[in-house]
Structure 1
Amino acid sequence: MKKKLILDVDTGVDDALAIMMALSAPDVEILGITCCHGNTPLEKVLKNTLRVLKACNRLDIPVYAGCSQPLLSNKQHASDYHGKDGLGDVPDPDAPGLELVQKKNGVKALIKMVKQNQGEVTLVATAPLTNLAVAVQLDPSLPKKLKALYIMGGNIESRGNTTTCGEFNFVADTEAAYVVLERYTCPTTIASWEFTCSNSLPWSFCDQWLSLKTEKAAFMKNISCLSRTKSQSADYQKEITAGQGFNACDTYALAAAINNSLVTESEQVAVTVELDGACTRGMMVLDYMDLLKKKHKVTIMKKVDLEKFKQMLTNSLK
Structure 2
Amino acid sequence: MEKIILDVDTGIDDALAILLAVESGRFDILGITAVNGNVPLDYVIKNTKKVLKHTGKESINVYKGASRPILIEPFHEYSVHGNDGIGGALSSIEVDSDDVADMFAPDFIIEQAERHQGELTLIMVGPLTNLALALRKEPRLAKWIKQVVVMGGLVSEAGKGNTLPTSEFNMYADAEAAKMVFHSGIPLKLVSLDVTKKTFLTSEDIEKLKGTHYYDFVKECTAVYRKYSEENYGVNGCALHDPLTVGVVLDPTLVTTASYFVDIETKSELSYGQTICDFGNLWNKEPNVEICLDVDSERFISMFIDTLKNTIN
* Range of TM-score over shorter length: over 0.9
Q: Secondary structure of 2:110's partner?
A: helix
- What amino acid maps onto 1:136 in structure 2? L
Which region of structure 1 is more displaced relative to structure 2, 53-62 or 246-255? Answer: 246-255
TM-aligned CA deviation for residue 12 of structure 1: 0.4
Correspondent of 1:309 among 300, 308, 312 = 300
Q: 1:252 aligns with which of 244, 250, 259?
A: 244
Distance 1:289 1:244 in 2: 37
- Local SS of the residue matching 2:75: coil
State the secondary structure of the residue aligned to 2:46: helix
Amino acid at match of 1:113: Q
Cα distance in 1 for partners of 2:292, 2:275 equals 14
Residues 215 and 98 from structure 1, CA distance in 2 versus in 1: closer, same or farther, beyond 3 angstroms? same
Amino acid at match of 1:213: G
Give the aligned partner of residue 102 of structure 2.
Answer: 103
Mark the runs of 5 or more structure 1 residues left unpaired by the alignment: none
Which of residues 270, 273, 277 is equivalent to 1:279? 270
Report % sequence identity: 34
CA deviations 1:20-60 (Å, max 9, x no partner) are 10111122111110000000000000000001101100001
Report the 3-state secondary structure (helix = DSSP H, G, I; strand = E; otherwise coil) of the residue aligned with 2:273.
Answer: coil
1:68 aligned partner: 67
Deviations 1:134-179 (CA, angstroms, capped at 9, x unpaired):
0000000101111111011011122221123111111110100111
Residue aligned with 1:190, SS = strand
Distance in 1 of aligned mates of 2:5 and 2:294: 24
Distance 1:246 1:44, change over 3 A: closer
Asked whether the 8 Å contact 1:7–1:30 carries over to 2, the reply is yes
- Structure 1 contact 55–215 (Cα < 8 Å) conserved: no
Deviates more, 1:272-281 or 1:168-177: 272-281
Structure 1 counterpart of 2:93: 94
Matched with 1:288 is: 279
Distance 1:259 1:47 in 2: 29
Post-superposition, which runs of at least 4 consecutive aligned residues in structure 1 deviate over 4 A? none
Aligned CA-pair RMSD: 1.8
What is the Cα deviation at residue 216 of structure 1? Answer: 1.8
Task: List per-residue Cα deviations over 1:178-232 (Å, max 9, x = no partner).
Answer: 111111432x2111113211x23362542433x4212222122121111111112
Shift of 1:303: 2.1
What secondary structure does 2:246 align onto?
A: helix
1:180 alignment counterpart: 181
1:189 maps to which residue? 189
> Relative to structure 2, which stretch is displaced further, 89-98 or 45-54?
89-98
Q: How many residues align?
A: 307
1:46 aligned partner: 45
Whether contact under 8 Å (1:190, 1:301) holds in the other structure is yes
Return 215-224 or 53-62, whichever deviates more: 215-224
> Higher mean Cα deviation, 95-104 or 45-54?
95-104
Partner of 1:147: 146
Q: Is contact 1:23–1:316 with CA below 8 Å preserved after alignment?
A: no
| CA distances 1:99-127 after superposition (whole Å, capped 9, x unpaired) | 43112111111111111111101101000
